[in-house]
């Protein structure tokens, strides 16, 4: 279904996008970051926290070397109370994702992945490649929500088109 090169490109894209979003978010007040904007996870910071939480869960499942997120799943949108805390954790996670992607071989994307889902209350199993695509799509989806919220808040949202990603990123 997918090749390591695709995952590596999307990991670079994830990092590039987060590096562009961080200065915009860091320049905003905590009130603007936590204002309910009617999005699924409410605020900019809530959505950013959800995205980081999801990435952490997937890296835990994919690698087994990343600790699962702390706390209850229902509280995950509040995991980082400040954008500075979120930014530091986001940067660390992006390095983990990039290192994982860079080390992938074709065989790492074959076979099934199985884990127990607390949310579903059962084992989940599907082809590894399906879960990896879901992971990458989840990132793009929620960054799109952040982009829309920034635009609606009168902020200048960064370019998000993959074709404009610098080669050195």
pLDDT (tens digit per residue) in 37-91: 999 999 999 999 999 999 999 999 999 999 988 777 778 888 899 999 999 999 9
pLDDT for 27: 97
Cα 39 to Cα 62: distance, rounded to the nearest angstrom: 28
State residue 9's pLDDT score: 97
Q: How far apart are CA 83 and CA 135, in angstroms?
A: 23
Instruction: Give the confidence band of 10 by pLDDT, cuts at 50, 70, 90.
Output: very high
Model pLDDT, residue 76: 87
Q: What is the pLDDT of residue 80?
A: 92
User: CA-CA distances (angstroms) from residue 86 to 91, 105, 168?
Assistant: 9, 31, 24
The angle formed by the CA atoms of residues 48, 96 and 76, to the nearest 5 degrees, is 30
pLDDT of residue 118: 80
Q: Give the predicted TM-score (pTM) of the model.
A: 0.94
Q: Which residue has the tokens 């990132």?
A: 139
- Residue 140 is predicted with a pLDDT of 95
Sort 110 into a burial class: Cβ within 10 Å, 0-12 / 13-18 / 19+.
exposed
Dihedral angle sign, alpha carbons of residues 10, 15, 20, 21: positive
């Amino acid at each position: 279904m997918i090749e390591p090169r695709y995952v590596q490109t999307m990991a670079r894209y994830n990092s590039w996008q987060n590096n562009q979003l961080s200065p915009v978010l860091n320049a905003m007040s905590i009130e603007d970051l936590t204002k309910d904007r009617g999005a699924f996870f409410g605020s900019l910071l809530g959505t950013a926290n959800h995205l980081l939480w999801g990435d952490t869960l997937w890296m835990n499942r994919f690698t087994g070397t990343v600790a699962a997120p702390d706390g209850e799943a229902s509280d995950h949108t509040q995991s980082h109370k400040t954008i500075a805390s979120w930014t530091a954790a986001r940067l660390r996670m992006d390095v983990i994702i990039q290192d994982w992607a860079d080390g992938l071989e074709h065989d790492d994307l074959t076979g099934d992945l199985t884990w127990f889902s607390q949310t579903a209350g059962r084992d989940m199993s599907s082809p590894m490649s399906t879960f990896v695509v879901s992971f990458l799509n989840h990132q793009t989806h929620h960054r799109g929500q952040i982009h829309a919220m920034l635009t609606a808040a009168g902020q200048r949202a960064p370019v998000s088109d993959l074709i404009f990603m610098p080669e050195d990123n």
